[in-house]
Structure 1
Amino acid sequence: YSAPSYDINRFIGGVSSSYYRELQEHKYKPLFNRALSGRYPPASTWKLATAVLGMELGLVTMDTHQEQPCTGGYYYGRVFKCWDKRGHGDISLAQAIAKSCDVYFYQLGLKIGLTRLLAGGVRLGFGDSTGIDMPGEKTPIWPASTAYFDRRYGPRGWNRSVVLSLSIGQANNSQTPLNMARFYTALATDGYAATPQVVARTPERKKLFDLSPEQLKSVQLALADVVSRGTAAGAQIQGLTIAGKTGTAQVPPEEDYAWFVGYAPADKPKIVLAIIIEEGLHGSTAAKVATKLMERYLKTKLTMNAVPTD
């Protein structure tokens, strides 16, 4: 579904109370600023955080394979399923990103360990708001330490298998689209993320992670593979190289939410974009919307910057 469209021009000079009430009371909440205030499980778009933390710790490179190939699930006290019940087989980290293999990231999350994963998520900015110069931004939900689980569930009400769900962007992890876009600006550039802003001024930049230029380049190539031959292959735009990651968030009892966070052009980014479609079912759905928007933006920018020849 989609929220009802409305003509923003109707708000010029004031809008009738009846029309404003109609929008406020609509079940799809068209006036709710989802980009700043919506908090959603980031799903597989968060796997890049797990990958970055694993690479920083020296646990993996893009060529690393895990001990257990993906057969559609992973047993750790119970079976944790992969989204593809057929399994992905014995794959590298680069392939796991392109194919979005849950079983690969379950194992990587276990190697990182819960304590280091939680601390790493804090350092990457997943527990903080972005500080954008607009009102209404919500702070993401990310456990700073295991004390969070003790407070919420009681010391005996949880176990460390939660690291498997956290490693694939589920469980106690809710992010705003804006914060996910901020993280991907660091992936798209040099590991630094700028504070988002509406008013034009020199942005404040903060280093989120410490990867070598070679490591960062390998991450960027893996993200490009997502669109060229991975889970977002159906969203390719001819003549435009795009990098990013799909995500399919489980939000019961509702249908799955569709995510795509990415940037373009892949080799020289000019736009980073995060899309979430509530009950969009599959991340590939969001990817198709995102790549069309990127294409439109970049073509418009080229037209505006064109130098007249006459």
Structure 2
Amino acid sequence: MDDVTDPQEKIKLINKNLFEVLNPEIVEDVVVKQNRPLVIYWGTATTGRPHCGYFVPVLKLGDFLRAGCRVKILLADIHGFLDNLKAPIELVKFRAEYYKFVITALLQAVNVPIDRLEFVLGSAYQLTPAYTMDLFRLSSVVTEHDAKKAGAEVVKQVDNAPLSGLIYPLMQALDEQHLGVDAQFGGVDQRKIFALAKEVLPRVGFGERAHLMNPMVPGLHGGKMSASDPDSKIDLLDPPDAVRRKIRKALAVPMQVEGNGLLSFVEYVLLPAGVLRYGEQRFVVNRRDGEPLAYTEIEQMREDYAADVVRASRRFPPVCSQPAQKPHVRGLRPSSQH
């Protein structure tokens, strides 16, 4: 797909399928008035192995790149360590290399330009004296209550929590300044951290940024897709037998749309990832007793599912086992040794 050149079309592509945008006027000012590339960062803590849910932010990064944005991907190794020791510090470097490999491969799989893409390792700048001093300054203007509230949806919540969980959201806010970006991109679960950044960065003399939020990807059981529940997600390295087993166990009550794990997976992962096979958003259901049903919008599929035109027993083909993606997934397999 070619890059978009018209400023208004760029903004439309940047905002496409987002759940919410904070400070959209910043995007408008950079793209239209300043007529320069919007600089965006997306951070991912290098903890567990990326799963098929990563197609959602990766496909959105593709939109940003096609809109002419400069994209920085923060491999947040320090954040992973701070989040209740999810990633032992001895492993974070290896995991960061693995994440870089996987995300690059996913972007290449959806045919997006990556010449304006930059990977940044968190520990490369978060351990410098300048960053540490700014973190001290920020901690002097943020209360314990506000820091805990900001991280409630992101940082693992435990009784008698360590102080690291309070540092986590402050660092995520501060990263906007030290990465030199106009906007931060993330899931809607990051909203409280984004709101904190918007409020507190000006208190220490730094500017506000725009915040672009994707919807969250529900798990196959209808709840949140979680690394701690292997059956709630499809790992990029899962073999076909494991994929089939997880699909069979997914929550999919016939004619019931709400809380349907499979329909949610189609909406947020399979339908957008149709670009891998068709060059556009598309999902096809093959039927034994009729012509295949092709969907380009989830609304029509929801109506058909509720009317029993299509049902889970006819098996939705999972994204990671589609022929167009098998070579891609096999290509990632050697990195699993990390």
What TM-score comes out, normalization by structure 1 length? 0.29
As a proportion of its length, which structure holds more helix?
A: 2
What TM-score comes out, normalization by structure 2 length? 0.27
